[in-house]
Amino acid sequence: MKLPLSWIRDYVDIKISPEELAMKLTFAGLEVEQMEYIGLPRPAGSRATGERPELAWDRDKIFVGEILEVKQHPNADRLTLVRVDASRGADAPIEMVTGAPNIKVGGSGYKVALALEGSRLYDGHKPGWELATLKKSKIRGIESGSMVCSEKELAISDEHEGIILLPDDAPVGTPLADYLGDIVLDIKINPNMARCASVIGIAREIAALTGAKLKPVPQKMIAQGAPIEDQVKIVIKNAELNPRFTAALIRGIEIKPSPFWMQRRLLMAGMRPISNIVDATNYIMIEVGQPLHAFDYDKLVARAAGSPPTIITRLAEPGEVLETLDGVKHKLDPFNILVCDTRGSLSIGGIMGGAESEVDANTKNVLLEAAAWEYINIRRTMASQKIASEAGYRFSRGVHPAQASVGLKRAIELMRELGGGEIAKGIIDEYPNKPKKIVINLPVVEVKRQLGVEIPAKQIVKMLEALEFKIQNSKFKGKHATRNTQHATVLRVTVPDHRLDVDGTDDLVEEIARMYGYENIPISRMDDELPPQRANVDLEQEEYVRDLLVDAGLQDVVTYRFTTPEREALLTIPGSPRPAIPQREYVRIENAISADRSVLRQSLIPNLLDLTAANLRYRPRVAVFEIGPVFWMRGADDALLPREVATELPEDKGIRLPLERRRLAIVLTGARGEIAWQGADTTPVDFYDLKGVVETLLAGLHLTNASFVASSNPLFHPGRGAQVKVGDVVIGEFGELHPVVRDAERFDLPAQAVLVGEFDLDALFACVTAAYKTTALSRYPGVAQDLALIVDENVPADRVHALIAQTGGALLQRATLFDVYRGDQIAQGKKSLAYALTFQSADRTLSDADASKVREKIVARLKREIGAEVRGAG
Amino acid sequence: MINELNALRANALEQLAHVWDDSALEQWRITFLGRSGALAAAMTKLGMLAREERPAAGKLANEVKTALESAFEAKIGAIKQRALSESLESEPLDITLPGRPIQRGRLHPANANLREIYRIWRDMGFQIFLSRETESDEVNFQMLNIPPHHPARDNWSTFYVADTDHRVLLRPHTSPGQIRAMRELGANGTQPVRVILPGMCYRYEQASVRYDIQFNQVEGLAVGRNITFADLKGTLTEFARRAFGERPVRFYADHFPFTEPSAQMDVQCIICNGAGCALCKYTGFLEILGSGMVHPVVLRNGGYDPDEWSGFAFGLGPERIAMLRYSIEDIRYFWGNDLRFLEQF
């Protein structure tokens, strides 16, 4: 909210500098986001952030001047010569040339902004903003050194059509900075500060914060017309939503532009001046915070067929339509509250007037409305009807009903001052739902309990009274008295009738903290009891897996959780016997930000494929993983995990809260290593690269009972996918992405092996045990022997390995497959597997003969069970 | 004979001086020290000498033998030494050639940043509590003192889940975790709680340099029988010191429906140290976190009696802090996953 400081000064004396004031307001919860200096110098160190440049008007060179005479320029039709009185700054009237169209030849008495030679001004003729020093020059033969200024030249606005014409009472000879200079504060109003969305609201805070006195809102109204009671009736049908409706009437006003000072203030506050009557309603809304609405009284009378109108406030009827003054036809909802007369609706209560009864250039008699509306209903209506207005903004945040008459009286009198006419005696005040006075018992000890600082009761009283709370001191015998009898003082606090936000001791403590100053509250370290300590195993395991994968050379990524069902469906080739990811109900976003973010993901893979494709455009290798949740609507057979049961609340019952399950996905593709001058393995990665990562992960988690079985998931290249099991639990699948999926246009991946895997971390972590066994170290040397076998092509390697390990028993320390060979010397349908065996005993030095004995046993077993032959033997 | 031995010695040492490889040395040894070498031949001659000449000649012969043997040993060392120096001097490397590339993985900057925040709060006795990302309106708003249609709801542009009558949403802040943490850990309002609640939040925002539709938040909550606003200031000041070093902080009034009083904490600008710069918009301070004393309604919804218990809560945006610290100009970089960005961390 923008407010000029000069306006605030109408209600409170400000003894501190504007900058200090801005800091005080900011610290008290009214953040001054911007200060706009108009004609006044900005202090060193601060910077203008507005879109228009600022200009400090030289107090010795720029004045209020008076044009004494306007003559035609002898050599130019469109220029005039003006003689300007400058009672300061020059000894005699000075003559200058101007092209301003808003002064007339032969005219005089115009009050203007006069800049003398040497003034720094913006060049009005050049586009943009260019600062120049005013110099003596000849304009079509007439020498001119001074100037009457436009708004642009003074950086007030970008207006350069004419010169500024000041009101007739502008004090000639006064530095313009004193007359027109101002500082506009742009203040952020948090929802709890709705009462401060006005000049009086800010002034009240300043008064409380600086110890100054707040001046009251003028309530005098000179009313000499016929009593209002006979001229209008008000009927409130729903006092819940419309607790109060006040009205005043003025007859015989003259519609005209509002005076210069008022236009200036409205403009500085960000409002466009329209006419004296409309401007008066806006002006008082900004000043007092009470929105007002002006009806053309005669139009109401006409609608009532010449009788005094009856204003009725009520809820909209089914199918009712109202055209607001912005020309929009609203199909109303049944909860929208309307201001009507006997003929029908006039305006949407508290938000916007209707087109039919609005004030226009011919209006003579004005019925002024100041009402109170229930704020939540106003908010609902603004949302459902998609209307925004200054009135709606204020009412939707809460305006206390007590303010209605305050704004009404001030505004109707202002209208009389601006437009003449006669105010009808009295006001109409229908007030069926007067809010109860709120009284709060505040034990003084509560202030210390919350803030941690002892503030004397006297000081608390002073701070609250400054904010217009009424305090009665009372000793309280009861609960609080027993806690600490020395601090048993209880303050009985009555909340002032401009506040809707205070109803408990916590609200009062906040007011006390704001007034005391957050900076004055000491700093302490908690000396409270330490809570019971618990480990967060879920998180620790997740972070550990991150470390394992980072150590394996993979980049950790985080992608958007949003996707579309169509995109995830691309993972399944049409016609596949089963889907690539299980079919579950998506968590659909009702108000999706875009069509490609319509649901929450059920798989991490599509996002990883997208980022892989994007990154492959400028690098040969991508190796990434993501750990994060996937989401779906809970189905009938989805059991909750222990961690989900632990955080479930009774309040969650009956609410369809989606399931959030943790996944790990990995994508590898491209060159295995980076090119380097030393030479490097830059061949493309394959299935076994990803398997190595998976094995590293399983080994890192000390899962010794993991196994790999062929996967039939259509996501994978046939024959190149694996399911990972720990014991009997499937914890995920990985493999080479099916070329048809890879080549889907959406993914835009190059024709190379892309390895993908996705794992269920909840299932994986359930298999992990915190404790695992290590083995003792042997002090005896080991014996190494190689074993090359020829086996049938269809014998899986892990079967061979298992047989070797089983047969080798305790003495076989390690069996490492170091070669797989097919081709020369190996019969068709066979393959050669070569193992490096290490034998070692825990209690003696093994001889070659000992090792060979075990090796022979292994060979015999392999021959017996899988028909393996030792290569090169016979 | 004496002369002969002296000449032998002189000759042998003279020849040895030119020997610089193992085979020549062996040849030299055979020639002079071998079984049928020059010295052995001289020795056999000793027997033929006159009796009175023998002691002197014998002594000399032994001296020559010792001298040649020790010269031989010394030569072995010298040859090794020379070979070593030659090999050390040969083939110097171009140490400016690049080293072999190592395929290194990295944590995502947002995750690395979260870890740092976890570390600080863990050290300060706060445990990490993970809460749901999809939430009910009730826990996300109502139990946090934000009734339906409350004006404060304007501050959270919320994504709603379809087919749930607006009762389920994507959490726009981590604060609903406060309720779940108090309920799970507070044991019906009988145990104190000190947790941080990190995690992804979602807002219906037009994505821009400053705003994205998803972002991490780290909420903090301390509930006890004896916790004050002064503790809030003290604890957050300690956090700021750990996270940003010794620099001034300031607290000022703010508004959140679930805390009262509420406070914003600023830390002196980490770029200009308070002098004023574009980053801090010439204020000298950066907004770091929002905080406040837990509202009685929220305490009650967490199972506590607000007359006996009190607490503070705070929330910070880790990506924002990372942006400040690493001069990241666009928040969308975080989930954009351009590896050129991620590899800078």
Across the range A295-301, mean pLDDT stands at: 96
CA distance A421 to A223: 10
Q: Which residue has the tokens 């110097």?
A: B92
CATH placement of domain A783-870: 3.30.70.380
Q: Please answer yes or no on whether B337 and A623 come within 8 Å at the CB atom.
A: no
Domain ranges of chain A: 2-40+184-210, 62-180, 223-430, 442-520, 537-635+656-767, 783-870
Question: CA A133 → CA A38, A97, A121, distances in Å?
Answer: 19, 17, 6
pLDDT, one tens digit per residue, over B159-213 is 999 988 778 999 999 999 999 999 999 999 999 999 999 999 999 988 888 899 9
Which fold does the domain A62-180 belong to in CATH? OB fold (Dihydrolipoamide Acetyltransferase, E2P) (2.40.50)
Across the range A535-550, mean pLDDT stands at: 94
- Chain A neighbors of B128, CB-CB under 8 A: 536, 539
Q: Please answer yes or no on whether B202 and A677 come within 8 Å at the CB atom.
A: no
In this predicted structure, what is the pLDDT of residue A452? 96
Structure tokens at A70: 């306007």
- Evaluate if residue A482 carries a pLDDT over 50: no
Higher-confidence residue of A75 and A667: namely A667
Taking phi first (over 0 means left), then psi (-120 to 50 degrees means alpha), and beta for anything else, what does residue B302 get? alpha
- CB neighbour class for A305 (10 Å; exposed up to 12, middle 13-18, buried from 19): exposed
Q: How confident is the model at residue A874 (pLDDT cuts 50, 70, 90)?
A: very low
pTM listed for this prediction: 0.87
- Evaluate if residue A167 carries a pLDDT over 70: yes
Across the range B11-21, mean pLDDT stands at: 91
Higher-confidence residue of A631 and B8: namely A631
CA distance A494 to A440: 6
Across the range B121-132, mean pLDDT stands at: 95
Q: Provide the angle, in degrees to the nearest 10, between the axes of the packed helices A797-808 and A848-866.
A: 140
CA distance A167 to A110: 8
CA distance B240 to B285: 13
In this predicted structure, what is the pLDDT of residue A87? 58
Q: Indicate the range of A22-26, A47-51, A853-857 predicted with least confidence.
A: A47-51
User: What class has domain A2-40+184-210?
Assistant: alpha beta
Q: How confident is the model at residue A475 (pLDDT cuts 50, 70, 90)?
A: low
Phi and psi of A867, rounded to 5°? 65, 30
Maximum mean pLDDT: which of A166-170, A708-712, B35-39: A708-712
Across the range A192-211, mean pLDDT stands at: 95
- Evaluate if residue B276 carries a pLDDT over 90: no
pLDDT, one tens digit per residue, over A407-459 is 999 999 999 999 999 999 999 999 999 999 999 999 999 999 999 999 999 99
- Evaluate if residue A214 carries a pLDDT over 50: yes
Q: Please answer yes or no on whether B159 and A190 come within 8 Å at the CB atom.
A: no
Q: Please answer yes or no on whether A523 and B234 come within 8 Å at the CB atom.
A: yes
In this predicted structure, what is the pLDDT of residue A309? 96
- Chain A neighbors of B344, CB-CB under 8 A: none
Q: Please answer yes or no on whether A536 and B192 come within 8 Å at the CB atom.
A: no
Q: ω into residue A308 within 30 of 0, thus cis? A: no
What chain B holds in terms of domains, given with CATH numbers, is 2-89 (no CATH), 109-342 (3.30.930.10)
Q: Which residue has the tokens 């006996």?
A: B308
Alpha helices in A9-64 (DSSP H): 18-27
Higher-confidence residue of B59 and B150: namely B59
Residue of B169, B339, B340, B344 for testing the chain A interface, max A β-carbons within 10 Å: B339
CATH placement of domain A223-430: 3.50.40.10
Are B12 and B63 in contact by the 8 Å Cβ rule? The answer is: no
DSSP state of A780: S
Q: How confident is the model at residue A339 (pLDDT cuts 50, 70, 90)?
A: very high
pLDDT, one tens digit per residue, over A793-844 is 999 999 999 999 999 999 999 999 999 999 888 899 999 999 999 999 999 9
- Evaluate if residue A479 carries a pLDDT over 70: no
Q: Please answer yes or no on whether A657 and B132 come within 8 Å at the CB atom.
A: yes
In this predicted structure, what is the pLDDT of residue A523? 95
Q: What is the ipTM of this complex?
A: 0.87
Q: How confident is the model at residue A873 (pLDDT cuts 50, 70, 90)?
A: low
Q: Considering Cα of B237, then B240, then B242, then B245, what sign does the dihedral take?
A: negative
Q: Please answer yes or no on whether B255 and A526 come within 8 Å at the CB atom.
A: no
CA distance A232 to A346: 15
Give the 3-state DSSP-derived string for chain B, with helices as H, strands as E and coil as C.
Answer: CHHHHHHHHHHHHHHHHCCCCHHHHHHHHHHHHCCCCHHHHHHHHHCCCCCCCHHHHHHHHHHHHHHHHHHHHHHHHHHHHHHHHHHHHCCCCCCCCCCCCCCCCCCCHHHHHHHHHHHHHHHCCCEECCCCCEEEHHHHCHHHCCCCCCHHHHHCCCCEECCCCCCEEECCCCCHHHHHHHHHHCCCCCCCEEEEEEEEEECCCCCCCCCCCEEEEEEEEEEECCCCHHHHHHHHHHHHHHHHCCCCEEEEEEEECCEEEEEEEEEECCCCCCCCCCCCCCCCEEEEEEEEEECHHHHHHCCCCCCCCEEEEEEECHHHHHHHHHCCCCCCHHHHCCHHHHCCC
Residues of chain A with pLDDT > 90, as a percent, come to: 77
- Chain B neighbors of A560, CB-CB under 8 A: 213-214, 335
pLDDT, one tens digit per residue, over A677-710 is 988 889 999 999 999 999 999 999 999 899 999 9
pLDDT, one tens digit per residue, over A611-632 is 999 999 989 999 999 999 999 9
Nearest to A752 by CA among A683, A689, A842: A683
Question: CA A630 → CA A603, A635, A664, distances in Å?
Answer: 6, 14, 10
In this predicted structure, what is the pLDDT of residue A86? 64
Instruction: Evaluate whether the domain defined by A442-520 bears CATH number 3.30.56.10.
Output: yes
Q: Which amino acid is at A831?
A: K
CA distance B251 to B257: 18
Domains A62-180 and A223-430 share a fold: no
Residues, chain A: 874
Q: Please answer yes or no on whether A655 and B136 come within 8 Å at the CB atom.
A: yes
CA distance A441 to A463: 16
| Residue partners of A513: CB distance under 8 A and separation at least 6 | A451, A521, B229, B253, B261
Average pLDDT, chain A: 92
- Evaluate if residue A483 carries a pLDDT over 60: no
Structure tokens at A2: 């923008």
Nearest to A238 by CA among A432, A436, A435: A432
- Evaluate if residue A192 carries a pLDDT over 90: no
- Chain B neighbors of A546, CB-CB under 8 A: 107, 111
Q: Which of A449, A506, A614 sits opposite B295 (nearest CB)?
A: A506
Taking phi first (over 0 means left), then psi (-120 to 50 degrees means alpha), and beta for anything else, what does residue A10 get? alpha
**CATH architecture assigned to A537-635+656-767:** 2-Layer Sandwich (3.30)
How many cross-chain Cβ pairs, A to B, lie less than 8 Å apart? 291
